[in-house]
Structure 1
């Protein structure tokens, strides 16, 4: 059982969770006191609230990590910067795991067929400190390594210099040539910034009028979608009417004419038979 005591005019355990320091109980309450019974009744509710808060924070952190992974995999965001949800793969071959497996198989095939790729992978796995000017670490060559494994084995290989730092391995002439290669972009950027500054700002009333038109545009879009659905239904009904006309008007009429033609042939044969009988009787008479 947990022993409670008074500390800073509050009912706290002997190990105070308010001050996060141990305190001596000045007046220990009895187990059957009303205060202890009230605390026992309220403890499950407090624990439930704390559990809900912890679960909500955990879910929020997991959602943030999921959005980050989504951006790393797709690289697509909406206008607010929130990563867009990737579309569901239409088949098993379009999943991320299968795509990564295909990339690894293609990398293995390239490493076997192209010597340059094999040399780069061997350099990446065999010289992890090539840019650190330290001793070379020998690692067994493996043509297929994931990006995380390569970063763990060779953290300094192909290391990019931050934009605010000057590369140590480049001379002054090389740096000057790099800067001068972008000299033509400076006037172009300045002219673009000037043109942006010269752009007139739309009138507030015009912008407000356009914003007021948004509900009307939404209603028109809804009406257009309803008309599109009605037109689609009319097309289906038209197709059914045409099929009915074809079955009844064309096929049925053809069957009716065929039946009439057969009946006429039967009547014609009966008339000819009776004429032959009549002619035979006349000849006998």
Structure 2
């Protein structure tokens, strides 16, 4: 009895996992290289969860139904006539259709038949690449990979040189321009002080000469 219960529990878990994978694929539409649906990314905030997004959509739809009469009429039609909005699987033919109705449905797609046939014919007319050319391209692939690797290394070196150039320019600006400006300002201040002392000495000398 325990083995049967374990088997039932294992089968139930497998079915639930299969359903979860199908729902994940429906939500994300992405799979890994094994075909297993990838886990959706965690929402950045609570407002990005599925329930909040559905609530916002319902609120927006309700606002549209209040402001636009056509939307309100469609919603009322959907509520009272659900059978009109049920889709029929493509592999099942609806019951109750007459031969004339089926013929009209087929004839509505008649214009697409010649176009499809012409496209298939154009595929047959496409030239097949030469085997030697394809083999030569395959042989060149390692060289192409080496060139691509060399280009990536050169791009990294160019990026580093740009950063070093920016640092050199910044250093030249700080030392060459700003430092020179501060030096000239200091020299100018010293010259003004010297000129002030010289003028003061001349004034004192003139006063002494006048007293004599």
| TM-score of the pair, normalised by structure 1 | 0.57
Pair 1:212–1:91, CA change in 2 (3 A)? farther
Q: Tell me how large the CA RMSD over aligned residues is.
A: 4.4
Give the deviation of 1:186 after TM superposition. 0.8
Pair 1:95–1:226, CA change in 2 (3 A)? farther
Give the deviation of 1:248 after TM superposition. 1.2
Post-superposition Cα deviations, 1:5-57, rounded to whole Å, max 9, x if no partner, equal xxxxxxxxxxxxxxxxxxxxxxxxxxxxxxxxxxxxxxxxxx99999999999
Q: Distance in 2 between matches of 1:214 and 1:88?
A: 39
Answer 1 or 2: which has greater strand percent. 1
Pair 1:56–1:76, CA change in 2 (3 A)? same
SS, match of residue 157 in structure 1? helix
The structure number with the bigger radius of gyration is 1
Any stretches of 5+ residues in structure 1 without a counterpart?
Answer: 1-46, 125-155
Pair 1:76–1:177, CA change in 2 (3 A)? farther
Post-superposition Cα deviations, 1:225-248, rounded to whole Å, max 9, x if no partner, equal 332222222222222222221111
SS, match of residue 274 in structure 1? helix
Q: Distance in 1 between matches of 2:45 and 2:176?
A: 46
Give the deviation of 1:253 after TM superposition. 0.9
Any stretches of 5+ residues in structure 2 without a counterpart?
Answer: none
Range moving further from structure 2, 71-80 or 193-202: 71-80
Post-superposition Cα deviations, 1:203-257, rounded to whole Å, max 9, x if no partner, equal 2332233233333333333332332222222222222222221111111111111
Pair 1:97–1:221, CA change in 2 (3 A)? farther
- For these two proteins, the number of residue pairs brought into alignment is 208
Answer 1 or 2: which has greater helix percent. 2
Give the deviation of 1:182 after TM superposition. 1.4
Give the deviation of 1:78 after TM superposition. 8.2
SS, match of residue 85 in structure 2? coil
Range moving further from structure 2, 71-80 or 56-65: 56-65
